[in-house]
Protein backbone atom coordinates (compact mmCIF):
# COMPACT_ATOMS: atom_id res chain seq x y z
CA UNK A 1 0.00 0.00 0.00
CA UNK A 2 1.28 3.41 -1.07
CA UNK A 3 -1.68 5.75 -0.44
CA UNK A 4 -0.85 8.12 -3.30
CA UNK A 5 -1.02 5.20 -5.74
CA UNK A 6 -3.45 2.55 -4.54
CA UNK A 7 -5.10 4.24 -1.60
CA UNK A 8 -8.48 3.08 -2.90
CA UNK A 9 -7.56 -0.39 -1.66
CA UNK A 10 -8.08 0.84 1.91
CA UNK A 11 -11.82 0.49 1.30
CA UNK A 12 -11.50 -3.23 0.62
CA UNK A 13 -9.61 -4.53 3.63
CA UNK A 14 -8.54 -3.65 7.16
CA UNK A 15 -5.36 -5.73 6.87
CA UNK A 16 -2.86 -3.66 4.88
CA UNK A 17 0.92 -3.79 4.61
CA UNK A 18 3.70 -1.29 4.03
CA UNK A 19 5.77 -2.20 0.97
CA UNK A 20 9.50 -2.70 0.96
CA UNK A 21 11.08 0.69 1.68
CA UNK A 22 12.99 0.68 -1.62
CA UNK A 23 9.80 0.03 -3.56
CA UNK A 24 7.91 2.79 -1.78
CA UNK A 25 10.58 5.39 -2.54
CA UNK A 26 10.95 4.44 -6.20
CA UNK A 27 7.23 4.25 -6.90
CA UNK A 28 6.67 7.81 -5.72
CA UNK A 29 8.52 8.88 -8.87
CA UNK A 30 7.53 6.02 -11.15
CA UNK A 31 3.77 6.34 -10.71
CA UNK A 32 3.40 9.94 -12.05
CA UNK A 33 5.63 9.04 -14.99
CA UNK A 34 3.59 5.92 -15.68
CA UNK A 35 0.43 8.02 -15.84
CA UNK A 36 2.09 10.50 -18.20
CA UNK A 37 4.00 8.22 -20.56
CA UNK A 38 3.02 4.60 -19.84
CA UNK A 39 5.81 2.39 -18.48
CA UNK A 40 6.97 -0.66 -20.47
CA UNK A 41 10.08 -1.70 -18.53
CA UNK A 42 11.75 -0.70 -15.26
CA UNK A 43 15.43 -1.21 -14.47
CA UNK A 44 16.53 -0.10 -11.03
CA UNK A 45 19.81 -0.02 -9.12
CA UNK A 46 19.55 0.84 -5.43
CA UNK A 47 22.08 2.25 -2.99
CA UNK A 48 20.70 1.43 0.42
CA UNK A 49 21.75 2.87 3.76
CA UNK A 50 22.86 0.84 6.77
CA UNK A 51 19.70 1.79 8.67
CA UNK A 52 17.79 -0.45 6.29
CA UNK A 53 19.10 -3.22 8.56
CA UNK A 54 17.89 -1.39 11.67
CA UNK A 55 19.86 0.02 14.58
CA UNK A 56 22.26 -2.96 14.61
CA UNK A 57 23.24 -2.12 11.04
CA UNK A 58 23.93 1.51 11.90
CA UNK A 59 25.93 0.46 14.97
CA UNK A 60 28.02 -1.99 12.93
CA UNK A 61 28.83 0.73 10.38
CA UNK A 62 29.72 3.27 13.08
CA UNK A 63 31.85 0.98 15.21
CA UNK A 64 33.39 -0.71 12.18
CA UNK A 65 34.46 2.65 10.76
CA UNK A 66 36.06 3.63 14.06
CA UNK A 67 37.90 0.31 14.20
CA UNK A 68 39.15 0.55 10.63
CA UNK A 69 40.40 4.11 11.07
CA UNK A 70 42.08 3.30 14.37
CA UNK A 71 43.71 -0.01 13.47
CA UNK A 72 43.55 -0.36 9.71
CA UNK A 73 41.64 -3.61 10.13
CA UNK A 74 37.99 -4.43 9.56
CA UNK A 75 35.86 -5.35 12.56
CA UNK A 76 34.07 -8.68 12.32
CA UNK A 77 30.79 -8.24 10.45
CA UNK A 78 27.66 -9.72 12.02
CA UNK A 79 24.81 -7.79 10.41
CA UNK A 80 26.01 -7.45 6.82
CA UNK A 81 27.43 -10.10 4.47
CA UNK A 82 30.81 -8.28 4.51
CA UNK A 83 32.32 -5.34 6.37
CA UNK A 84 30.53 -2.19 5.23
CA UNK A 85 32.91 0.70 6.12
CA UNK A 86 34.48 2.16 2.95
CA UNK A 87 32.84 -0.66 1.00
CA UNK A 88 29.71 -1.43 -1.01
CA UNK A 89 28.01 -4.82 -0.87
CA UNK A 90 25.95 -5.99 -3.88
CA UNK A 91 23.81 -8.24 -1.73
CA UNK A 92 20.78 -7.44 0.43
CA UNK A 93 18.88 -10.45 1.80
CA UNK A 94 19.43 -14.02 0.57
CA UNK A 95 20.03 -15.12 -3.01
CA UNK A 96 17.20 -16.88 -4.82
CA UNK A 97 17.27 -19.56 -7.52
CA UNK A 98 17.14 -17.00 -10.35
CA UNK A 99 20.29 -15.22 -9.15
CA UNK A 100 18.45 -12.20 -7.78
CA UNK A 101 18.27 -11.52 -4.06
CA UNK A 102 14.97 -11.54 -2.20
CA UNK A 103 15.28 -7.76 -1.74
CA UNK A 104 15.56 -7.33 -5.51
CA UNK A 105 12.59 -9.57 -6.19
CA UNK A 106 10.50 -7.70 -3.63
CA UNK A 107 10.91 -4.59 -5.78
CA UNK A 108 9.62 -6.46 -8.84
CA UNK A 109 6.73 -8.15 -7.03
CA UNK A 110 5.58 -5.02 -5.22
CA UNK A 111 5.92 -2.62 -8.16
CA UNK A 112 3.64 -4.90 -10.18
CA UNK A 113 1.10 -5.30 -7.39
CA UNK A 114 0.87 -1.71 -6.14
CA UNK A 115 0.64 -0.21 -9.64
CA UNK A 116 -1.53 -3.06 -10.99
CA UNK A 117 0.95 -3.71 -13.81
CA UNK A 118 0.33 -7.44 -14.14
CA UNK A 119 2.49 -10.39 -13.11
CA UNK A 120 4.54 -10.42 -16.30
CA UNK A 121 5.53 -6.74 -16.30
CA UNK A 122 9.35 -6.51 -16.69
CA UNK A 123 11.02 -5.08 -13.57
CA UNK A 124 14.67 -5.69 -12.75
CA UNK A 125 16.61 -4.54 -9.69
CA UNK A 126 20.16 -4.69 -8.34
CA UNK A 127 20.24 -3.82 -4.62
CA UNK A 128 23.49 -2.58 -3.09
CA UNK A 129 24.26 -1.74 0.55
CA UNK A 130 26.40 1.40 0.94
CA UNK A 131 28.12 2.95 3.99
CA UNK A 132 25.61 5.72 4.74
CA UNK A 133 23.35 5.92 7.79
CA UNK A 134 20.06 7.20 6.40
CA UNK A 135 18.14 7.56 3.11
CA UNK A 136 18.11 5.11 0.20
CA UNK A 137 19.08 6.24 -3.30
CA UNK A 138 18.01 4.67 -6.59
CA UNK A 139 19.08 4.98 -10.20
CA UNK A 140 16.08 4.17 -12.38
CA UNK A 141 15.84 3.56 -16.13
CA UNK A 142 12.44 3.16 -17.79
CA UNK A 143 11.22 2.37 -21.26
CA UNK A 144 7.92 4.06 -22.01
CA UNK A 145 4.99 3.53 -24.32
CA UNK A 146 4.99 7.14 -25.47
CA UNK A 147 7.83 9.59 -26.27
CA UNK A 148 9.19 11.35 -23.19
CA UNK A 149 8.84 15.11 -22.88
CA UNK A 150 11.21 16.22 -20.10
CA UNK A 151 9.26 19.41 -19.40
CA UNK A 152 6.11 17.36 -18.90
CA UNK A 153 8.04 14.85 -16.79
CA UNK A 154 9.26 17.63 -14.50
CA UNK A 155 5.75 19.04 -14.30
CA UNK A 156 4.01 15.80 -13.35
CA UNK A 157 6.70 15.02 -10.79
CA UNK A 158 6.46 18.53 -9.32
CA UNK A 159 2.68 18.16 -9.08
CA UNK A 160 2.84 14.72 -7.47
CA UNK A 161 2.17 14.67 -3.71
CA UNK A 162 5.15 13.51 -1.69
CA UNK A 163 7.66 14.29 -4.46
CA UNK A 164 10.04 17.22 -4.88
CA UNK A 165 12.15 17.79 -7.99
CA UNK A 166 15.81 18.56 -7.22
CA UNK A 167 17.31 18.83 -10.68
CA UNK A 168 19.71 21.65 -11.52
CA UNK A 169 23.01 20.19 -12.79
CA UNK A 170 24.41 23.68 -13.43
CA UNK A 171 24.25 24.31 -9.69
CA UNK A 172 25.19 20.70 -8.86
CA UNK A 173 21.78 20.16 -7.30
CA UNK A 174 20.42 16.60 -7.34
CA UNK A 175 19.07 14.08 -4.82
CA UNK A 176 21.53 12.84 -2.21
CA UNK A 177 21.20 11.03 1.13
CA UNK A 178 22.79 13.99 2.90
CA UNK A 179 19.93 16.29 1.89
CA UNK A 180 17.10 13.73 1.81
CA UNK A 181 17.64 12.51 5.38
CA UNK A 182 14.85 13.61 7.69
CA UNK A 183 12.65 14.84 4.82
CA UNK A 184 9.13 13.52 4.23
CA UNK A 185 9.23 13.98 0.46
CA UNK A 186 11.07 11.82 -2.06
CA UNK A 187 13.59 13.76 -4.13
CA UNK A 188 13.89 13.20 -7.88
CA UNK A 189 16.60 14.57 -10.18
CA UNK A 190 19.15 13.87 -12.93
CA UNK A 191 16.19 13.71 -15.33
CA UNK A 192 17.27 12.85 -18.87
CA UNK A 193 16.04 11.05 -21.94
CA UNK A 194 17.42 7.56 -22.30
CA UNK A 195 20.06 6.99 -24.95
CA UNK A 196 19.32 3.24 -24.82
CA UNK A 197 15.56 3.21 -25.40
CA UNK A 198 13.88 5.13 -28.21
CA UNK A 199 11.15 6.06 -25.76
CA UNK A 200 12.46 6.21 -22.23
CA UNK A 201 14.17 8.22 -19.53
CA UNK A 202 16.61 7.90 -16.66
CA UNK A 203 16.59 9.62 -13.28
CA UNK A 204 17.89 9.46 -9.71
CA UNK A 205 15.72 9.19 -6.61
CA UNK A 206 16.54 9.58 -2.94
CA UNK A 207 14.27 9.27 0.09
CA UNK A 208 14.48 8.71 3.82
CA UNK A 209 13.45 5.07 4.06
CA UNK A 210 12.59 5.41 7.75
CA UNK A 211 9.90 7.92 6.76
CA UNK A 212 8.46 7.38 3.26
CA UNK A 213 9.56 3.76 3.28
CA UNK A 214 8.26 2.95 6.74
CA UNK A 215 6.71 5.12 9.48
CA UNK A 216 5.34 7.96 7.37
CA UNK A 217 3.80 5.60 4.83
CA UNK A 218 2.10 3.67 7.64
CA UNK A 219 0.66 6.89 9.08
CA UNK A 220 -0.63 7.93 5.65
CA UNK A 221 -2.29 4.53 5.24
CA UNK A 222 -4.00 4.93 8.60
CA UNK A 223 -5.16 8.46 7.70
CA UNK A 224 -6.58 7.17 4.41
CA UNK A 225 -8.47 4.45 6.27
CA UNK A 226 -9.85 6.96 8.78
CA UNK A 227 -10.82 9.27 5.92
CA UNK A 228 -12.91 6.65 4.14
CA UNK A 229 -14.39 5.24 7.34
CA UNK A 230 -12.72 1.83 7.20
CA UNK A 231 -10.84 2.57 10.42
CA UNK A 232 -12.35 4.18 13.51
CA UNK A 233 -9.79 5.98 15.67
CA UNK A 234 -10.01 5.29 19.38
CA UNK A 235 -10.16 8.26 21.73
CA UNK A 236 -8.02 7.68 24.79
CA UNK A 237 -9.39 8.96 28.10
Is 136 a catalytic site residue?
yes
DSSP 154: H
Is 74 a catalytic site residue?
no
Question: CB within 8 A of 200, min separation 6: which ones?
Answer: 41, 141, 142, 143, 144, 148, 193, 194
Catalytic residue among 21, 115, 125, 206: 21
Residue 42's beta-bridge partner residues?
A: 123, 142
Helix, strand, coil % (nearest 5) of the chain?
40, 20, 40
Nearest CA-CA partner of 138 in 60, 52, 14, 70? 52
**What is the C-alpha separation between 60 and 45, in angstroms, rounded?**
24
Catalytic residue among 34, 111, 125, 136: 136
Q: What are the residue numbers of the active site? A: 21, 136
Amino acid sequence: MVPEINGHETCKSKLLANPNCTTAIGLMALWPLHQAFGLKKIIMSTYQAASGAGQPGMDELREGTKELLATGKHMENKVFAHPLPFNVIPQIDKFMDNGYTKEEMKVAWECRKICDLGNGFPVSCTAVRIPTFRAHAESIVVETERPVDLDLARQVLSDAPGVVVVDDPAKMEYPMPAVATGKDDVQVGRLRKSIVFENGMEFFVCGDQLLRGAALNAVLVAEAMIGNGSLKPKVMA
